[in-house]
């Protein structure tokens, strides 16, 4: 009987050993990855910053985004060096944040925040970038303001405070939209008033009633030589009625033509012409400003002379204005120092009808209006030459182009 008892205990011990071996083998198999299904722990969310972390010389107009894949943005801020937060918008899934605020030059911006992955684990969002620091910026001004009504010869003029080296890049950033569509072109004229200037004019005079929109996307633009654009510019204005002043100097008269009909026909006196400085220039002048009272000087002939109803037609000192002292010559001889003199009564009648951008077409004198005479001599340049002054000659222009309008009278051509 004792032998059978030992035999049962031995069998039980053998069974326990076998069972332990199976359990150990199973544990060993799981730890070694042999056929197991468990996944390694860790965050799933991936963050991409644009521009990338540590980027330098970033253009302040470049797209700035933070994008999360396999997750969503929980908290996020982009701040400048002063701690001010930059504004932006999230997409519907909160997987992308897009900055919608213009950034500054020479500034460092820092990301901070958290993304939550699809595994519900957080991932830090951090990084920084620095925008470009220009050597200088070149502010610009436009000659026609919002809501202004101008004459049919008004050019669009952008004046830069500084020299523009990369004129092609600047011109590509300029757009003129006209309704009805109007053929025209930009032209770069010689630097003036401390910087570069570019003018846009239509091929022919504007059609009355045309609505014009000008957009200059200059901020962030590399103008060359380390100079960048200072700010964007826009203007929305309208072309008014057609009014053309026509003067043939030998006739000693001047006509004002409104919408094809003669509004005024005045006796006048043009420049005496005994010296070049006293010659009224032939060519298409443009009305730029007017004064009920204006003090004029033209040494050695006169200084601080008070003139009435003065309408400037060129920066060389030419005006249409009242001058009682030349009343005896008006209608029969030319005795002025280059201006077009009218009687006080006639000058006062003309004055309120004059509008910035009206053409004043003078013919019959021995010297032509030119670049030497001031800022607006655009209409003295023939169309093919004008187009050649574009920095994009031969390239598509960033402007409206259409079938040319019926030719308008330009005088002397």
Lowest mean pLDDT among 6-10, 21-25, 242-246: 21-25
Residue environment code for 177-189, b if the CB has 16+ CB neighbours within 10 A, otherwise e: ebeeebbbbbbbb
pLDDT given at position 371: 94
pLDDT given at position 19: 38
Confidence of residue 342 (pLDDT cuts 50, 70, 90): very high
Q: Give a yes or no: residue 399 inside a domain.
A: no
β-sheet with 71-79: strand ranges across: 55-58, 122-131, 108-117, 71-79
Q: Is the pLDDT of residue 401 over 80?
A: no
Domain that holds residue 258: 243-376
What the block records as the tokens of 8 is 């049962």
**How far is Cα 85 from Cα 184, in angstroms, rounded to an integer?**
44
What the block records as the tokens of 159 is 């004046």
Over range 74-91, report the average pLDDT: 97
User: Per DSSP, what are the bridge partners of residue 128?
Assistant: 110
Considering the domain architecture, whether residues 259 and 370 belong to the same structural domain is answered as yes
pLDDT given at position 232: 98
Q: Give a yes or no: residue 5 inside a domain.
A: no
% helix / strand / coil in the chain, to the nearest 5? 15, 40, 45
Considering the domain architecture, whether residues 233 and 272 belong to the same structural domain is answered as no
Pick from 308, 409, 399, 311: nearest CA to 353: 311
Last residue of a domain, one of 70, 99, 130: 130
260 φ/ψ sector (left φ>0, alpha ψ -120 to 50, else beta): left
CATH number of the domain where residue 67 is located: 2.60.40.3780
Output the DSSP codes for 92-125.
TTS-EEEE-SPPPTT-EEEEEEEEEETTS-EEEE
pLDDT given at position 375: 84
Tell me the pLDDT tens digit for each residue of 379-399.
999 999 999 999 998 765 544
pLDDT given at position 349: 98
On the question of a cis peptide bond just before residue 180, with omega within 30 degrees of 0, the verdict is yes
What residue ranges in 299-369 does DSSP mark as E strands?
302-312, 319-322, 340-342, 359-363
Q: Is the pLDDT of residue 137 over 50?
A: yes
Provide the number of structural domains found in the chain: 3
Burial, 26: exposed, middle or buried (Cβ in 10 Å; 0-12, 13-18, 19+)? exposed
pTM equals: 0.82
Considering the domain architecture, whether residues 253 and 344 belong to the same structural domain is answered as yes
**How far is Cα 117 from Cα 96, in angstroms, rounded to an integer?**
14
CATH number of the domain where residue 262 is located: 2.40.440.10
Q: Give a yes or no: residue 392 inside a domain.
A: no
Considering the domain architecture, whether residues 233 and 249 belong to the same structural domain is answered as no
- Active site residues per annotation: 321, 339
Share of the chain above pLDDT 90, in %: 81
């Amino acid at each position: 009987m004792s032998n059978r008892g030992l035999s049962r205990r031995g069998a039980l011990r053998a069974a326990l050993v076998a069972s332990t071996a199976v359990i150990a083998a199973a544990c060993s198999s799981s730890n070694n990855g042999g056929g197991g299904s468990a996944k390694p722990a860790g965050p799933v969310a991936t963050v991409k910053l644009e521009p990338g972390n540590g980027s330098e010389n970033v253009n302040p107009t470049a797209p700035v985004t933070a994008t999360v894949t396999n997750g969503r943005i929980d908290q996020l801020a982009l701040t400048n060096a002063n701690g001010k937060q930059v504004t932006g918008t999230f997409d519907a899934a909160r997987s992308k944040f897009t900055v919608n605020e213009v950034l500054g030059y020479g500034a460092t911006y820092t990301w901070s925040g958290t993304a939550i992955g699809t595994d519900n684990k957080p991932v830090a969002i951090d990084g920084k970038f620095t925008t470009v620091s220009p050597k200088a910026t070149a502010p610009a001004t436009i000659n026609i303001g919002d809501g202004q009504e101008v004459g049919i010869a008004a050019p669009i003029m952008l004046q830069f405070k500084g020299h523009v080296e990369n004129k092609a890049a600047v011109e590509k950033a300029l757009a003129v939209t006209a309704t009805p569509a109007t053929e025209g072109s930009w032209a770069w004229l010689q630097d003036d008033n401390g910087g570069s200037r570019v003018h846009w004019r239509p091929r022919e005079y504007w059609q009355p009633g045309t609505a014009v929109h000008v957009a200059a996307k200059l901020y962030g633009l590399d103008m060359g030589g380390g100079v960048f654009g200072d700010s964007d510019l826009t203007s929305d204005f309208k072309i008014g009625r057609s009014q053309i002043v026509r003067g043939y100097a030998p006739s000693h008269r001047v006509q004002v033509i409104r919408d094809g009909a003669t509004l005024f026909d005045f006796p006048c006196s043009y420049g005496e012409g005994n010296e070049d400085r006293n010659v009224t220039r032939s060519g298409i002048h443009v009305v730029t400003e007017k004064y009920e009272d204006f003090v004029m000087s033209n040494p050695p002939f006169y200084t601080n002379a008070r003139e009435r109803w003065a309408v400037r037609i060129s920066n060389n000192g030419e005006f249409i204005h009242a001058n009682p002292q030349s009343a005896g010559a008006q209608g029969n001889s030319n005795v002025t120092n280059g201006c077009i003199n009218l009687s006080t009564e006639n000058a006062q009648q003309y004055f309120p009808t004059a509008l910035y951008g009206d053409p004043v077409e003078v013919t019959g004198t021995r010297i032509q209006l030119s670049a030497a005479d001031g800022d607006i001599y655009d209409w003295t340049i023939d169309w093919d030459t004008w187009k050649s002054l574009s920095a994009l000659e031969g390239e598509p222009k960033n402007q409206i182009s259409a079938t040319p309008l019926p030719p308008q009278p330009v005088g002397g051509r």
